[in-house]
Amino acid sequence: MRLVLVLLTTLFSFGIREISAQELNCKVQVILNANTSSINKSVFTNLEKSISEFMNLRKWTDENYAAHQRINCFLTINITDASKENAFTAEFTIQSERPVFNATYSSPILRHKDPTIPFEYIENQPIDYADNNYISNLSATLAFYAYYIIAMENETFGFKAGQALLDKCNNLCNLVPPNLSVAGSPVRGWQASQAMDISGQQSKVGMVLAMLSGSNDKFRNAVYKYHIDGIDVLESDAKKAMDNLELSIKDIYEIPSKHYIHKHFILTKSDEIANIFAKESVTRKKKIAEMVTGIDPTLGVKMNQGLGL
């Protein structure tokens, strides 16, 4: 019965998906920070347009999304090297958010940076992609993050609801050839062997393998509960919502070995958590600050300031 109520609440609060539409409303920005005078700036304008069309006009799943249900996300591509013909290196910043039930604000889901991505782009040529065939590092990277954005959005509405899309992300990782390079620059972040060290945890393969690991079922459940039983309930029952939010944070805090995905989640939510608990008792605020910094020690000063401790 409880599952039925949750599903009905979700359907009525966000609308039944009945109109065929793309999943993403992705705002793309290409920024040139490399020193170059030999390339016409129109290349980067057209790159921005091509990536925007790739993300927004492609149908990524079999589900039908109404226009107002499209996932708001942001992709910033900071070009750091444009010294080779038709070949570039860039830092990708990926952000996404999802609406909160009965509220006028959105909750952040992703705030992730993927540095040093080499790719090739020829002006006015389409960005080609196929689910089961590696074509280029640019299209593979864009497709990975399209799937990952939708997967993480789905994870906030149901336990393991992003599984099929995370599997697609993993399939993409498996398709990329090992020892790949683009115009002499090594391509990293796809091979499972690269996910083992601390920096590898932040790679594409590191994130998706962690999400798919059974050892992180508790984390995935906490993500789901944080949203459905927490922020989505704030307007109707603030006390219940904050109790559930605290429990979700506690579940992540109690995970023995902290991975990047745990730290990334709590960092992304840190402002939201501070705002929600800012007017609670000092005892509760200290408890929240202790758990948040236990997950990501770098947040100590920020949480103390945000909670007024």
pLDDT in tens, 195-219: 988 889 999 999 999 999 999 999 9
Closest CA to 54 of 87, 20, 30, 19: 30
Output 88 or 4, whichever has higher pLDDT. Answer: 88
Owner of token pair 């219940």: 240
Structural contact between residues 17 and 67, judged by C-beta atoms closer than 8 angstroms = no
Straight-line distance from the first to the last Cα atom of the chain, in angstroms, rounded to the nearest whole number: 41
| pLDDT value of residue 11 | 41
Strand intervals (E) in the chain: 24-32, 71-84, 87-99, 106-120, 181-182, 185-186
Provide DSSP, 287-303: HHHHHHHHH-GGGHHHH
Q: Please say whether the beta carbons of 211 and 148 come within 8 A.
A: no
Q: pLDDT tens digits, residue range 273-294?
A: 999 999 999 999 999 999 999 9
d(CA 176, CA 180): 8
How far is residue 149's CA from residue 14's CA, in Å, rounded to a whole number? 18
Structure confidence at residue 10 as a pLDDT band (50, 70, 90): very low
pTM: 0.92
pLDDT at 13: 43
pLDDT at 5: 36
Mean pLDDT of the chain: 91
pLDDT of residue 196: 83
How far is Cα 145 from Cα 157, in angstroms, rounded to an integer? 19
Asked if residue 172 has pLDDT above 90, the reply is yes
* pLDDT score at 36: 67
